[in-house]
Structure 1
Amino acid sequence: MTAKGNMSVEAMEQKCEMVAQVMKALSHPKRLLILCHLAQGERSVSQLECLTGLSQSQVSQFLKTMTLQGLIQARNDGSFKYFSVVDKELERLLEALHQVYC
């Protein structure tokens, strides 16, 4: 059985699960703030601390959660770790939210 647009019910359920996961991440104001900064470009933990006013432990916890969710990725450069948004669709969603609400 297929749903609208010839997408199978199973595929649609998988997409809905993925969207729900993204929306859950966006539902926390501080995670959303971090994601908005990452959508503008790669950032280190210390840069995100300065930009958000959060402590290093808070930033690290949010980054760990979003990395495990597959929303962001980390890149090591010497003793620094830089984070960026993985999904271009998420970047577009963040940009749309920015245009509507900011």
Structure 2
Amino acid sequence: MRKKSASIDLSVMQASAEKASALLKVLANPDRLLLMCQLSQGELCVSDLEEQLGIRQPTLSQQLGVLRDNALVETRREGKSIFYSIASKEAIAVMNVLYEQFCAK
């Protein structure tokens, strides 16, 4: 726990709680969490994500759409391929904590 310091304005705290809650809701889906874990290693195209994670294309497209709609990932087109990368510094920070708690040896 943090030391008690100058009190934070309640409206600021509520707005921050809403933003944090929205991020956690998006990450609460196992397929989206897998996608974010994989993308935390670097940019990947859709076919690579499908192959590496074993998520079928319809589900993959749906979950990538949710991540894109919530500004957690961004896209880049190269020819016919679409590449995804993480766009949210807050999401990367949460992914780092999750990695330390659940994946690090």
TM superposition score normalised by structure 2: 0.84
Structure 1: unaligned runs, 5 residues or longer = none
Show the counterpart of 1:16: 17
In structure 2, what is the Cα distance between the partners aligned to 1:13 and 1:30?
A: 29
Deviations 1:66-88 (A, max 9, x none): 11111111111111111111112
Structure 2: unaligned runs, 5 residues or longer = none
In structure 2, what is the Cα distance between the partners aligned to 1:37 and 1:81?
A: 16
Q: Name the structure with the higher helix share.
A: 1
Mean CA deviation greater in 58-67 or 12-21: 12-21
Query: Which amino acid is 2:54 matched to?
Result: G
In structure 1, what is the Cα distance between the partners aligned to 2:45 and 2:72?
A: 16
Show the counterpart of 1:58: 59
Name the Cα RMSD after superposition: 1.5
Show the counterpart of 2:47: 46
In structure 1, what is the Cα distance between the partners aligned to 2:89 and 2:6?
A: 22
Identity of aligned residues (%): 30
Query: Which amino acid is 2:79 matched to?
Result: G
TM superposition score normalised by structure 1: 0.87
Q: Is the alpha carbon distance of 1:12 and 1:62 closer, same or farther for their aligned partners in structure 2, counting shifts above 3 Å?
A: same
Residues matched between the structures, number: 99
- Residue 41 of structure 1 aligns to a residue whose secondary structure is coil
